[in-house]
Amino acid sequence: MLMGIIQKPTLRSYFSTRRIMSTPGFRDIISRNRLELICKFLHFVDNETMSTHQGPQKLLKILPLISQLNKKFLELYLPSQNISVDESLTLWKGRLSFKQYLPLKASKFGIKTHELCDLKKGEIVAQHCGRGKKMNKWYMKLFRKLLNTSVLNALIYKSNTGKNIGQLSFKIELVEGLFVKYASAVEHKMPGRHASDNSVLRLTERHFISRISPRSTKARPQRRCVVCKKCGKKEMVYWCEACDVVLCIECFRDYHTKLNF
């Protein structure tokens, strides 16, 4: 989802350390090699149970995901009386027996899906994909479409609850929420010292260094830096008021730009 917002020419570009290309957020949450392996081996069906599958064989690679999403959509959304069945085409130029040609679509060649849409709310209630011969990796293209559909429905659901938010802002909030939720699972595997505070605000909001506010007992209070306190450095007089943590000047940038420092 974040790659759809921050677009770069290649997957490896997101992990570049060159100054003009660097986006540290990607490197902080996952390594490049691990992401490449996930993309290479990601699938949605247990290969050991493929022989016992009773559904459409030609959609076996993606059918469990379609069925699960349709089930969730019907649980969460109550469609109005005004519904329609729409045709959608997911671009695919590779070899595929059920690839179709629709000259009126922007992407003329691809995988056609039928979508049950609510005309009043705009949400997609259910989806159905055409059938055909199994081909390598075509289902990944369809997976990305299903992911975008899920995000769109989530945005509409949130808007219907009275919380109006733009699509870009919603996607950023969603990515930040996932970042916070799963950061702790990744954190202990990453090298370096680890922060006890996994709040995404530490990494995304604006922060300013300032002197610690004076107290009634001390005109110039001092405390240890939360990053380098284990190294035995002297006490500091600076802090980040927004995060309520004491930081030395050298550690201020690391604390606010790295998940693990």
188 has pLDDT over 60: no
Structural tokens at position 51:
């022989």
**SS3 track for 99-140:** EEECCCCCCCEEEEEEEEEECCCCCEEEEEECCCCCCCCHHH
Range in 13-27, 93-107, 191-205 the model is least confident about: 191-205
Q: Could you read off the pLDDT of 42-53 as tens digits, one per residue?
A: 888 877 777 776
Percent of all residues in the chain with a pLDDT value above 90, rounded to a whole number? 0
118 forms bridges with which residues in the sheet?
83
Structural tokens at position 151:
């995000």
- End-to-end distance of the chain based on CA atoms, in angstroms? 25
24 has pLDDT over 70: yes
Q: How far is CA 205 from CA 17, 30, 176, 200, 202, in A?
A: 22, 21, 11, 8, 6
Q: Could you read off the pLDDT of 84-111 as tens digits, one per residue?
A: 888 888 888 787 777 888 787 777 888 8
pLDDT at 94: 80
Q: Could you read off the pLDDT of 160-182 as tens digits, one per residue?
A: 777 778 888 888 888 888 777 76
201 has pLDDT over 80: no
Query: What letter does residue 212 receive in the DSSP assignment?
Result: P
With bands split at pLDDT 50, 70 and 90, how would you rate the model's confidence at 190?
very low
The residue ranking higher by pLDDT, 246 or 129, is 246
pTM: 0.54
pLDDT at 205: 64
pLDDT at 36: 87
156, containing H or E segment: helix 138-160
Average pLDDT over residues 103-124: 78
Are the CB atoms for 92 and 129 separated by under 8 Å? no
Alpha-carbon dihedral angle through residues 149, 150, 154, 156, given to the nearest 10 degrees: 20
Q: Are strands 245-246 and 109-118 parallel, antiparallel or unpaired?
A: unpaired
149 has pLDDT over 70: yes
Are the CB atoms for 90 and 77 separated by under 8 Å? no
Q: Which residue has the tokens 């959509």?
A: 73
CA gap 231, 246 in Å, rounded: 15
Q: What is the mean pLDDT of the chain?
A: 75
> Residue 38 in 3-state DSSP?
helix
Helix and strand tally (H, E) in the chain?
8, 7
pLDDT at 17: 83
With bands split at pLDDT 50, 70 and 90, how would you rate the model's confidence at 193?
very low
